[in-house]
Amino acid sequence: MRRFVAIGLSSTLMLQAVPLMAAPVMSGARGGVQTAVATGAINGTAQSSAGQTLPNYTVQVRNLKTGQLAGTTTSNAAGSFSFAGLSPADYVVEVVNEAGGIVGSSSAIVVAAGATVTVTVSAAAAAIAPEAAGGISRALVVTTIAAAAGIAGVVVVARNNASSSR
């Protein structure tokens, strides 16, 4: 009888330990087990400084740590845009005019895994129409990224790209 009780107890202990040994790997790909990396999203509206929506404008999202673009889209008829599948990080959303100049920029946006952040990006009224100088793109990008990253003492050098015939 003792033998049956001992076998029963040892079998019970083994059955309880099996799920622990078969648990999937939590990160990366090991042993053929793939785990999904949780991503976030940014939804928003592009508008002028007067509050008018900006339809059909290029909107881009930039990773503040790397400075690289993480996505580009076009605002719809209501000025709305969306970026999905963003890795958790700090981002800035930029509105771009027809000449390729950045005319509006958000403050730093923290995207967490599984979260959706909503933002409104306002563009300066004077910068919405393409200007001869190409808008405010480089200076705005550098100062926005530097400010969001907490870098002080940034110097922005601008040059006029006038043609040699002038």
Query: Is 135 inside a domain boundary?
Result: yes
Helix (H, G, I), strand (E, B) or coil at 156: coil
CATH (domain of 142): 2.60.40.10
Question: CA–CA separation, 89 vs 101, rounded Å?
Answer: 24
Q: Which domain holds residue 128?
A: 40-149
Query: Is 23 inside a domain boundary?
Result: no
* pLDDT digit string, tens, across residues 65-124: 999 999 999 999 999 999 999 999 999 999 999 999 999 999 999 999 999 999 999 988
Query: Is 32 inside a domain boundary?
Result: no
Q: In which band, very low, low, confident or very high, does the pLDDT at 37 lie, cut at 50, 70 and 90?
A: confident
What is the average pLDDT across 36-58?
A: 93
Instruction: Indicate whether 25 pLDDT > 50.
Output: no
Query: Is 103 inside a domain boundary?
Result: yes
Query: Is 120 inside a domain boundary?
Result: yes
Question: CA–CA separation, 67 vs 60, rounded Å?
Answer: 12
Question: CA–CA separation, 138 vs 94, rounded Å?
Answer: 12
Pairing of strands 33-34, 40-48: unpaired
Query: Is 34 inside a domain boundary?
Result: no
Query: Is 17 inside a domain boundary?
Result: no
